[in-house]
A and B are shown apart, each in its own frame.
Chain A
Amino acid sequence: MELAKAAGADDVWAVAQQSRNVQFAFRDGSLETVKDNTSRVLAIQIYAGDRYSSSQTTDLNPSRLAQFIREAVATARALEPDPFRKITPPNLFAERSKVDLDLVDPAVGELTRERRLSWCGSLDAAVRNHKQMISATSRVSDGTSWSAWASSNGFEHTRETTSIWLSASLTLRDRGDKRVSGGFGAGGQHVATLPPTDEIAQMALDFAHARLGSDKGPTTTTTMVVDARVAGQLVGRRLLAAARASQIQQGRSFWSDLLGKPAFSPVLTIVDNPLIPRGLASRHYDNEGISSKVLPIIEEGVVRNIYVDTYYGRKTKMAPTTGSSSNVTVKLWSKSLQDLVSDAGTGIYVTGWLGGNADTTTGDFSFGLQGHLIEGGKIGAPVSEMNVTGNLKDLFNKLALVGNDPYPYARTITPSLLFSDVVFSGA
């Protein structure tokens, strides 16, 4: 920061980060890959007379840092002034939650090669248990990340997280030249919370096995039940993508007039909660240093808040909330997945997406999918090569039932969801 001020910056925000990541993978009975890497980066944001630039470097050689910083300041000064660009004001980071987020497990840093080999070996032995097995990969990936944050206007904090994941993916022979694939992974920050390798292997096997013999699904308008494991993408990545002041300010959001309105189904409640202990996206502050708060996005269908960072907050005259999502949670109701399927009677049960996109300006979407027929209130034959098409605002108004089975291994934690009158294209 001293260097930046010496070079002519008025304000500086700096983050230094170091991460170690280790990956071991077994394939079909033998060790296939060993990777062990430590990475460092310095990221700085320069505010110089209403002008702004940001820079990162992995070249931390002290003899070159001064120059790197000088160049960052010079870049900012070469731009036109932007009156909306200011360093995060201290009132946004003055008070911070002291909840222990429990994001560090010292046991991760002490993992040995032997332990990792043993996990991979167990997973591998358990997952290669299928007469149509072609190939299976079992992985353990663990890491530690540490960062230091400081700003010229008084922000000062360090952050540390550990992570450990076990996963298995496999390919089975189907009919003719076709294969089916499936996988499952579990993890978090703590070694002790890992499910047993047998369980992970069985989940992976079950998911792949369920795909055998799939046919093209039908073209139809019917009920859609989305499995908890993939509902998170629909909510976190698609629905909420346009719930941002940045998109609204640029005229590119179908959420633009929805604040305060009952825009979605009354069974939908979504809360962004950065303060969940052991949450995969938990944090005490966001990338701008704004102290974390629980943020209701939608309450019983009514839009309460959107994602507003400080820059677009100034442009839109909206109070900043946070510019980035954390743990996005969908409120649970009481029905199980089986209940939803039974209530549907007839429909499509979605277990995977394949490509597709959504237009944030209009909310129009079209996604590829795979899943199963729902017939007689039960999960039936596997289907694939289908699309689902519609409009996101319309779709989430047709959200009729929300389940009780949240999928924990994701940043967006949703249960299974049931939507009515959904348009599918297939054979």
Chain B
Amino acid sequence: MATNRRIFLSNAAAGTALLTMPAFLSGCGVDLATSVGTATPANPFLEWFGVDEALLARVMSELTANGADTAELYFQHTRTTNLRMEDSLVNRANTNIQQGVGLRVVVGDQTGYAFSEDLTLPSMLAAARTAATIAKSGKVTAPQSFNPLGAGDLYTIRVPWTEVGIDQKLPLLRQVDKLARSSDPSIKKVSVGWMDSDDRVLIATLDGQLIVDHRPMTRLSALVTASRNGASQSGSANIAARNDFDWYTTERMTEMVKLAVARTMIQFDAVRPPAGEMPVILAAGPSGILLHEAIGHGMEADFNRKGRSIYSDMMGKKVAEPFVTVVDQGTLAGNRGALNYDDEGNACGRTVMVEDGILRSYLHDTISARQYDVPVTGSGRRQSYKFEPMPRMTCTFMEDGPHTKDEIIAAVEHGIIAETYTNGQVRIGEGDYTFYVKNGWLIEKGKVTAPIRDVNIIGNGPESLRRITMVANDAYMDTGGWTCGKNGQSVPVSLGMPSVLVSKMTVGGQNVS
């Protein structure tokens, strides 16, 4: 819908979205269409995309013919495989190839964008001309050659996914399936989801830089349904990383299955908590969803330069206690949200959004960095070559604080502790945000008592930040497969958190009268 420009975060089990690519089978002697080795080739243009530097200089020239402050050619070739096992049989194997080039030209805060999936000169020139219509007049000297920047090292690729055959993946699915089914006699159905992708990005920029990034991604999920006395409950868990096949150790997969099963079985006993305002403890790890929704989106600089975010006039102000520091960092090696370079070709780094309780920095892309006259933060991301980039999060987390988890629990008279989440959403102008708690516990008189389930929690970003009254020293990054949606574009992200206490939030429970 034209007005449906929701901003959401989701951890939906794999198998729902289909962005998959052909799997290249080992041992079947098939030549890859565009070959990729383990190292970045000396001439990635030629080897990956069948184009040469002179051609790109021509396209860049056409793209910027009417003037430009920023421009880039974003080449991408992505191969994704999705597998699903149900009833102990793989009943879906989907592969997807997406290849194209996105051409963007920016003048001030105006953007012209066109993409081409036909990587021939005439098609690219036509797309460039279309994008260039955003600009009226202006002269800029387009680069004739492109200087390659050094490759990053944040991902592990011993063997690229394009060279891992389906025959290697199937045993892992069977292992997970068998483990889940044998965990409890009441488990009736198990669905295992697998995703891997090999993503090659090549960016040529107006200032003559050449950025190359070879990005792996993988994700494994288990969805379990159990039945007892005529009632059924379902639960799930998933893990994801920018890593290769060897990342899937038996230990890692076993932990994931244990989590899926535990989350399912506890629901037979879980109840809805009371409805209304109460203290909420967010357990470490995936509770980073609080940050993502309560402040992360609100700090994306495109919203702020337009004055639309509730944080637009809060820079430099105190927004939280001095033991609260919130960071967005793209350089956390191997994390789902990690990137060597963002999708504008800027190096990713570490952006401190809140430092010791003070609002310090927005997440900037090139357009907003220029407007605010600050350095870019490597936050310009896009879903694919089909879209223009905009400020997005990467790996968002809060740093350790001075308390312990036990202290936090002991401090709550009547409240809940939230552990497992499925999704969240935010309205950045109002600052209102929510996240859905799938599993958690009641806390009464400082003690964890009964399990709870299926409640939506709603709060207001700045108010929630102010109300973080305790922060523990147990922060870690969740390995769940989170996907963030904004203005019709989805990107993978990571979340992390220590255990924290928010003194008051609105819990969507049910009061039993």
Cβ-neighbour of B456 out of A68, A79, A356 (below 8 A)? A356
Bound together, the chains give a CA A362 to CA B277 distance in angstroms of: 25
Other CB < 8 Å A-B pairs besides A367-B456, A387-B455, A390-B510, 11 of them? A33-B134, A34-B130, A71-B22, A74-B28, A134-B307, A165-B1, A177-B462, A250-B86, A362-B454, A366-B508, A425-B506
- Cβ distance B49 to chain A, nearest Cβ, rounded Å: 11
A72 within 8 A of B: yes
Q: 8 Å CB contacts to B: which residues of A40-87?
A: 40, 52-61, 64, 67-68, 70-72, 74-76, 78-80, 82, 84-85
Which of A24-32, A258-266, A318-326, A328-336 lies on the face that meets chain B? Answer: A24-32
Bound together, the chains give a CA A297 to CA B231 distance in angstroms of: 24
A388 within 8 A of B: yes
Nearest-CB residue, chain B, relative to A214: B430
Structural contact, A368 and B113, CB atoms closer than 8 A: no
Residues in A neighbouring B96, C-beta threshold 8 A: 55-57
Structural contact, A184 and B3, CB atoms closer than 8 A: yes
Residues in A neighbouring B2, C-beta threshold 8 A: 139, 141, 165-167, 185-187
Structural contact, A425 and B276, CB atoms closer than 8 A: yes
Structural contact, A59 and B86, CB atoms closer than 8 A: no
B155 within 8 A of A: no
Residues in B neighbouring A107, C-beta threshold 8 A: none
- Cβ distance B122 to chain A, nearest Cβ, rounded Å: 13
Bound together, the chains give a CA A410 to CA B227 distance in angstroms of: 37
Structural contact, A356 and B436, CB atoms closer than 8 A: yes
- Cβ distance A145 to chain B, nearest Cβ, rounded Å: 15
Residues in A neighbouring B30, C-beta threshold 8 A: 67, 70-71, 74
Residues in A neighbouring B309, C-beta threshold 8 A: 179
B368 within 8 A of A: no
Bound together, the chains give a CA A366 to CA B507 distance in angstroms of: 10
Residue among A60, A178, A367, A425 with the highest chain B CB neighbour number at 10 A: A425
Q: 8 Å CB contacts to A: which residues of B290-310?
A: 306-310
Structural contact, A34 and B310, CB atoms closer than 8 A: no
Structural contact, A55 and B458, CB atoms closer than 8 A: no
Task: Give chain B's interface residue range (CB within 8 Å of chain A).
Answer: 35 or more
A364 within 8 A of B: yes
A278 within 8 A of B: no
Binary interface profile of B, 222-237, with partner A (CB < 8 Å = 1, else 0)? 0101010000111000
Bound together, the chains give a CA A123 to CA B429 distance in angstroms of: 21
Structural contact, B31 and A389, CB atoms closer than 8 A: no
Which of B193-201, B324-332, B417-425 lies on the face that meets chain A? Answer: B417-425
Nearest-CB residue, chain B, relative to A181: B429
- Cβ distance A72 to chain B, nearest Cβ, rounded Å: 6
B404 within 8 A of A: no
Structural contact, A364 and B454, CB atoms closer than 8 A: yes
Residue among A74, A211, A424 with the highest chain B CB neighbour number at 10 A: A74
A94 within 8 A of B: no
Bound together, the chains give a CA A366 to CA B423 distance in angstroms of: 12
Can you list 22 A-B pairs, Cβ within 8 angstroms, ordered by A?
A: A35-B112, A35-B113, A53-B95, A56-B97, A57-B22, A72-B22, A72-B95, A75-B95, A80-B90, A82-B89, A135-B306, A141-B2, A177-B314, A177-B462, A185-B2, A219-B276, A250-B86, A252-B234, A362-B233, A365-B454, A367-B456, A425-B507
Residue among B133, B438, B456, B513 with the highest chain A CB neighbour number at 10 A: B456
- Whether A251 touches B94, Cβ cut-off 8 Å, given contacts A135-B306, A389-B509, is no
- Cβ distance B377 to chain A, nearest Cβ, rounded Å: 22
Cβ-neighbour of A39 out of B307, B386, B459 (below 8 A)? B386
Residues in A neighbouring B427, C-beta threshold 8 A: 181, 354
Residue among A34, A135, A179, A355 with the highest chain B CB neighbour number at 10 A: A355
Interface size on A, residues (CB 8 A): 96
A327 within 8 A of B: no
Residues in B neighbouring A78, C-beta threshold 8 A: 25, 165-167, 170
Structural contact, A31 and B307, CB atoms closer than 8 A: no
Residue among A216, A364, A389 with the highest chain B CB neighbour number at 10 A: A389
Residues in B neighbouring A221, C-beta threshold 8 A: 511, 513
- Cβ distance A34 to chain B, nearest Cβ, rounded Å: 5
- Whether A169 touches B5, Cβ cut-off 8 Å, given contacts A37-B115, A251-B232, A423-B510, is yes
Residues in A neighbouring B113, C-beta threshold 8 A: 33-35, 37
- Cβ distance B187 to chain A, nearest Cβ, rounded Å: 10
Q: Which residues of B contact A (CB under 8 A)?
A: 1-3, 5, 8, 20-25, 28, 30-31, 33, 77, 86, 89-100, 109-118, 127, 130-131, 133-134, 165-167, 170, 188-189, 191, 223, 225, 227, 232-234, 272, 275-277, 306-314, 386, 388, 422-427, 429-436, 438, 453-460, 462, 506-511, 513
- Whether A368 touches B97, Cβ cut-off 8 Å, given contacts A36-B114, A58-B117, A423-B510, is no
Structural contact, A177 and B313, CB atoms closer than 8 A: yes
Residue among A37, A61, A135 with the highest chain B CB neighbour number at 10 A: A37
Bound together, the chains give a CA A53 to CA B232 distance in angstroms of: 31
Residues in A neighbouring B227, C-beta threshold 8 A: 251
- Cβ distance B254 to chain A, nearest Cβ, rounded Å: 23
Cβ-neighbour of B225 out of A56, A174, A251, A390 (below 8 A)? A251
Bound together, the chains give a CA A275 to CA B245 distance in angstroms of: 47
Structural contact, B508 and A75, CB atoms closer than 8 A: no
Bound together, the chains give a CA A171 to CA B28 distance in angstroms of: 57
Nearest-CB residue, chain B, relative to A254: B232
Binary interface profile of A, 14-30, with partner B (CB < 8 Å = 1, else 0)? 00000000000001101
Structural contact, A35 and B114, CB atoms closer than 8 A: yes
- Cβ distance A37 to chain B, nearest Cβ, rounded Å: 5
Structural contact, B306 and A27, CB atoms closer than 8 A: yes
Residues in B neighbouring A76, C-beta threshold 8 A: 93
A361 within 8 A of B: yes
Binary interface profile of A, 376-404, with partner B (CB < 8 Å = 1, else 0)? 00000000111111100000000000000
Structural contact, A409 and B308, CB atoms closer than 8 A: no
Structural contact, A361 and B233, CB atoms closer than 8 A: yes
Structural contact, B166 and A79, CB atoms closer than 8 A: yes
Residues in B neighbouring A171, C-beta threshold 8 A: 306-308, 429
Structural contact, B93 and A53, CB atoms closer than 8 A: yes
A-B pairs, 5 with minimum CB distance: A387-B508, A179-B429, A355-B425, A425-B275, A185-B2
- Whether A364 touches B453, Cβ cut-off 8 Å, given contacts A27-B306, A166-B2, A252-B225, is yes
Bound together, the chains give a CA A359 to CA B422 distance in angstroms of: 10
Residues in A neighbouring B3, C-beta threshold 8 A: 167, 169, 183-185
A357 within 8 A of B: yes
Bound together, the chains give a CA A58 to CA B225 distance in angstroms of: 37
Q: 8 Å CB contacts to B: which residues of A273-314?
A: 311
- Cβ distance B362 to chain A, nearest Cβ, rounded Å: 15
Residues in B neighbouring A427, C-beta threshold 8 A: 276-277, 506
